[in-house]
Structure 1
Amino acid sequence: MAKIDLTQPTTVIIPVATAIERTTNWRNFVTKVSPSASARKLPKAVYISKDDIEKLSRLMHQNEDLVGVRAYFTIDIPAEEEVVNDVSFVMVPVRKVEGKTFGEDVLYKADSGKDINDPDDSEVYDYTMPCPTACDEDSPLFGG
């Protein structure tokens, strides 16, 4: 496997047509795994405010060892067909670690007691507002 440099940008600008195709593929996939769900309620995206992005950027600049963030998909409660359950994601800083190709998740603040239930110890961020709740319903990426 080629050596991966986690400090390099991962941005890839794609054509709008490709974005429409990929979001359509996602909606078709989710519809197949949850056929009884209303198309209007299927998870489509998450919204992250400018302020939250800037806070995350400041966190990244405060620590040279941090090379990026990783986003994990989440749902608030166990999946059930009758319950509306918003899909979102949480983000964690990623630290470059020798021998770990994709870095290491930073789950706790450096000076914390590492209490799994204490948000003051945590470096796990839920900035997101799920879509379809917070969507641009006129966007071609939103679909049906």
Structure 2
Amino acid sequence: MEKLPTIPVELAIQLTTNWRLFYADIYNDSVKINKKIDPDGQEVFRGFRIPIEDLEQLLEVAKSFNADHSEKINSVRAYLVKDSQDPKQLSDIHIILVPVVGGKEIDPSPTRGDVQYGNDLLQIKDGTAEAHRSVIFDFTTPCPTQCDTDSVLYSSQNV
């Protein structure tokens, strides 16, 4: 099995710090309220908790689909979503995960050229019936709602 790419802890700390500063700056500049949020405060949206069991369910969908189709599910796309349009409500941000069919490669560089990134698979045929069922997965919980508040990735105060 190919080893997944990892990054050093120090880089992860810097990247998560960059995100908290960026998020707080954008929020503080755009929301017309008296209270500003602190980059290390609980109001800053940080990430998502995804149960392994749910990822395994998504993998089962991919395996089943791939067994019956020539073009395969080879990745998952995460979309940021919000339950409300209220900018003051910060606890309802989460992600949905969508299987992606096709695509040649995952290229993290900003100069992508004409690389094909695959197509979102939103529904699959449900058995032998003509009915379709959604394969858009919404099982994540946002951080700070479910966070490791003692982690060095959570706050610069923990470093």
Look up the match of 1:52.
54
Give the aligned partner of residue 108 of structure 2. Answer: none
Quote the residue 1:96 is aligned against: 102
Amino acid at match of 1:74: V
- Establish whether residue 24 from structure 1 lines up as the match of residue 17 from structure 2: yes
1:73 is aligned to 80
Q: CA deviation at 1:11?
A: 3.5
Could you give the per-residue CA deviations for residues 93-114 of structure 1, whole angstroms, max 9, x where no partner exists?
0001699700000011234656
Q: Which runs of 4+ in 1 moved over 4 A?
A: 97-100, 111-114
1-structure distance, mates of 2:37, 2:64: 43
Give percent identity, aligned residues only.
31
3-state SS of paired residue (1:142) = coil
- Counterparts of 1:1-144 in structure 2, within 5 Å, are 11-35=4-28, 36-37=36-37, 39-64=41-66, 65-81=72-88, 83-96=89-102, 101-111=116-126, 113=131, 121-143=133-155
Report the residue type matching 1:66 in the other structure: I
Q: What is the CA distance between 1:127 and its match in structure 2? A: 1.6
RMSD (Å), alpha carbons: 2.4
Q: Distance in 1 between matches of 2:125 and 2:116?
A: 22
Task: Pick closer, same or farther for the CA change 1:124–1:10 going to 2, 3 Å.
Answer: farther
Structure 2's unaligned 5+ residue stretches are 29-35, 67-71, 105-113
- Alpha carbons 2:91, 2:144 under 8 Å: kept: no
Partner SS for 1:89:
strand
Give 1 or 2 for the bigger CA radius of gyration. 2
Count of residue pairs the alignment pairs up:
129
Q: Hey, what does 2:111 align to over in structure 1?
A: none
Q: Is 12-21 or 100-109 further displaced after alignment?
A: 100-109
> TM-score, normalized by length of structure 2?
0.72
- Alpha carbons of 1:56 and 1:10: their partners in 2 closer, same or farther (altered >3 Å)? farther
